[in-house]
Amino acid sequence: MNAYQARTGDMQFLLSSVLNAPAKLQALPAFADVDPDLMQQVLDESGKFVSEVIAPLNRDGDEIGAQWQDGVVTMPTGFKQAYQTFWQSGWPALSASAEDGGQGLPCVLEAMLYEMLSAANHGWTMAPGLLHGAYECIKHHASDELKAQYLQKVATGEWLATMCLTEPHAGSDLGLVRTKAVPLPDGQYALSGTKIFISGGEHDLTENIVHLVLARLPDAPPGPKGLSLFLVPKFYPDGSRSRVHCDRIEEKMGLHGSPTCVMRFDEAVSALVGEPGKGLNAMFVMMNAARLHVALQGIGLLDAAWQKADAYAQERRQMRAPGQGKGPGQADLIGEHPAVRRILDTQRAWVDAGRVLAYRTALELDLIKHSPDPTVQAAAQRWCALVTPVMKSVFTHQAFHGGSDCLQVFGGHGYVREWGIEQIVRDARVAMIYEGTNEIQAIDLLVRKVLVDGGQGMNGLLDGLLAELPQHTKSSTPAQARVQTLRAVTQQIVKAAPQDAALAYRVADDYLRSVALVLMEWAWLRIEAGVDASDPQSAQRWSAPAKALRDWVLPEFQMRSYIIVSQCTAAA
């Protein structure tokens, strides 16, 4: 079984030649010292750490899994040691501010690190996956006293953090949360209730765990506006243990290396984070960061599945491939069969486009944080608001379905455990569900973000994409035609929606996928413009997936537009 290898050459090409990231970042005062050499060095070191330390633990993480005994959770062999090395080397603090103990590097480098980590070992990566969001949440919403106690420990990853939202009866609808917070005389709160599916609710990776919990004050109104955010650690600063217990961990389809915990809060003394009734606002900081991370999980896992399938297709021989001209009795590599080639090149097209879009989104986060120009900041906010749900949805969908196609390349050998591809398919499935299911992402995009301003924000995003197309593709091209169709389709939904309250909800997924296809085409046009055509090896590397995108991926756009238009016509 071949373990995942971080191939940082491709990532570096996308970052520098396609996204022009070093120049964009160096133009920001905060990153004036972040030169291309430094970025390359961080990327190379990330790749080395992931390939050498994290990837080899993936199989044990699946087979041994996290173990629960009397409220104590023991992580799989090697996980704790790897985590200690991880935080002591400063990896979790990559993009945290220097004043909080971080390295002050761009978000985009952290995004690339997390893509590699998820590809190598999704289960292990769940543990630090929420750290950065928790750091931002505490930094922007907690009191100075709380910050003094927790900010640096969370920024550096010395302590891990959880996000406690879900309850047995409250999943997508957090307005149903019942966990209650009763004020105590000293200004703190007693938290009581049960949270389920809490990733990393209990483990032995760090000395302390910081829980961020959504709960309801006694006089709070029903629904989401009655939710407040609270912080309760496993151990308080004086060393005493809080009344937070892990009652069980779930048996799951995959992701065995990550304990999914049922957490009981038994009048646990906690502190309010932010204002009463503004819990969801504070939590959204964490959830938006987490959504990009989940998209990166999808991209990484699909890359890991592709690596395995591609290697196998270069070894396994079966039957003669059309046009290969071997003699009777001889068999060709399965990678030479058009059906297998189609699977492999198509997944490559998804991974490479996904990287461009995810790294671009992370760069936009850097602009939001550090650009002094309000117009640039507003455009970056728009990009993140519109593109993040698209990425979360389509790349987690593709990780599972494309990963399953990669499993198909192995035939029966993919269905048995030997090659490790079935673990990727099992592990990837959950990413379509958590951090807001993919159905919720589609509704978030169309109903909450596009229809709300009559499609103006989406039009602005599309204008920006067109302006960034390479010169020769700017007019009368299929890409431009697709952008025009998307604009027209958006307006049709805007017009028809008032006649049929359910319309937007029915076509939300078709709409999200249409946007994804336009974004992917843009990403690939940018990749092709960045390729050095005089280097035959480089040209060959990128040409097959570019062709697969046009042959096998983009035709879906027509089907999606057809569905949306039919639904709008029926509603009118």
Ligand X SMILES: Cc1cc2nc3c(=O)[nH]c(=O)nc-3n(C[C@H](O)[C@H](O)[C@H](O)COP(=O)(O)OP(=O)(O)OC[C@H]3O[C@@H](n4cnc5c(N)ncnc54)[C@H](O)[C@@H]3O)c2cc1C
Residues found near ligand X in the complex (CB under 6 A): 163-166, 171-172, 197-199, 252, 255, 260, 430, 433-434, 437, 439-440, 443
Q: In the complex with ligand X, which residue's Cβ is closer, 95 or 199? A: 199
- Whole-angstrom Cα distance, residue 169 to residue 496? 34
Smallest distance, ligand X to C-beta of residue 103, A? 26
* Distance linking the first and last C-alpha atoms of the chain: 56
Which residue number is nearest to ligand X in terms of Cβ? 171
Smallest distance, ligand X to C-beta of residue 353, A? 25
- Whole-angstrom Cα distance, residue 101 to residue 157? 10
442 neighbors 509 (Cβ within 8 angstroms): yes
Bridge-based pairing state of the strands 244-249 and 209-216: unpaired
244 neighbors 232 (Cβ within 8 angstroms): yes
Bridge-based pairing state of the strands 244-249 and 260-273: antiparallel
Q: Which of 256, 409, 259 is nearest to 347 (CA)?
A: 409
Q: In the Cβ-directed half-sphere of 84, how many Cα atoms lie within 13 Å?
A: 6
Catalytic residue among 267, 435, 439, 528: 435
Q: Which of 10, 203, 4, 289 is nearest to 121 (CA)?
A: 4
Helix, strand, coil shares of the chain, percent, nearest 5, are 60, 10, 25
Q: In the complex with ligand X, which residue's Cβ is closer, 105 or 294? A: 294
Q: In the complex with ligand X, which residue's Cβ is closer, 91 or 434? A: 434
Smallest distance, ligand X to C-beta of residue 352, A? 28
- Whole-angstrom Cα distance, residue 222 to residue 235? 31
Q: In the complex with ligand X, which residue's Cβ is closer, 44 or 439? A: 439
Q: In the complex with ligand X, which residue's Cβ is closer, 118 or 199? A: 199
**DSSP character string of 197-232:** EEETSS-SSSS-EEEEEEEE-TTPPSSGGGEEEEEE
Phi, psi of 352 (to 5 degrees): -65, -40
- Whole-angstrom Cα distance, residue 387 to residue 118? 21
CA distances, 231 to each of 150, 190, 191, 412, 417 (Å): 10, 11, 10, 49, 41
Smallest distance, ligand X to C-beta of residue 6, A? 25
Q: 335 Cβ partners below 8 Å, 6+ apart? A: 310, 313, 314, 341, 344
181 neighbors 227 (Cβ within 8 angstroms): no
Smallest distance, ligand X to C-beta of residue 357, A? 23
170 neighbors 177 (Cβ within 8 angstroms): yes
Q: In the complex with ligand X, which residue's Cβ is closer, 114 or 557? A: 114
Q: In the complex with ligand X, which residue's Cβ is closer, 311 or 433? A: 433
Is 63 assigned a catalytic role?
no
Q: In the complex with ligand X, which residue's Cβ is closer, 213 or 313? A: 213
- Whole-angstrom Cα distance, residue 470 to residue 546? 15
SS3 140: helix
- Whole-angstrom Cα distance, residue 413 to residue 407? 8
Q: In the complex with ligand X, which residue's Cβ is closer, 45 or 500? A: 500
Catalytic residues: 435
